[in-house]
Amino acid sequence: MARLPVCIATATLAALAGCGQIAIKRGSGADALMADRASCREQNADPAAVRACMVQHGWHITDLDGGPPAPPVYPPAVTAQTAPAGASPAPAVTPPPPTPLQPVRGTDKLHVGTWWHFGAGPSDLSAAVDGCVSKLGTADQPDAGYHIVTRALYECLSAEGWRRAS
């Protein structure tokens, strides 16, 4: 949990500088970033291709030229607390599991409350949905708010880096 304030401070300083890029991959550091970036550049030097490759490697990338980034969404952390001397150890606390996808009653479709993708906006979601529907077919077209989707569309958007907020 101590890393989160450092990450937020770094992101804030970078945002105040007004330019640059933030790349986040949970559990990875600067060495992993440099290695993945070098590997992606070896495959294709085009910046858009490098970015797509980095996303495929699990990195969430935000360009700071368009304003401050949205903070990453992490599950709540469980912090260890020191027990007083002589006290029995407390049982381990585990965070609750993510909410399962809710099927829409009477259909084979799923309900997704909110879609998110670090560094992306509504127009990016619309483009991703259009791309997936063109791959899958019109039978996988979602509702107007992208809340009622087929499992195939859900999996396609997930492969594109889109996640549901639980």
Task: Fill in the amino acid letter for 137.
Answer: G
Q: What is the pLDDT of residues 77-105, one digit of tens each?
A: 555 556 566 666 666 666 555 566 667 66
Res 166: pLDDT: 56
Task: For the chain, give the percent of residues with pLDDT over 90.
Answer: 13
Q: What is the pLDDT of residues 135-165, one digit of tens each?
A: 999 999 998 888 889 989 999 998 998 888 7
Question: CA dist 148 to 12, 37, 51, 112, Å?
Answer: 36, 36, 30, 6
Highest mean pLDDT among 25-29, 71-75, 123-127: 123-127
Strands 21-24 and 115-116, how do they pair?
A: unpaired
Cβ neighbour number for residue 50 with a 10 Å cutoff: 20
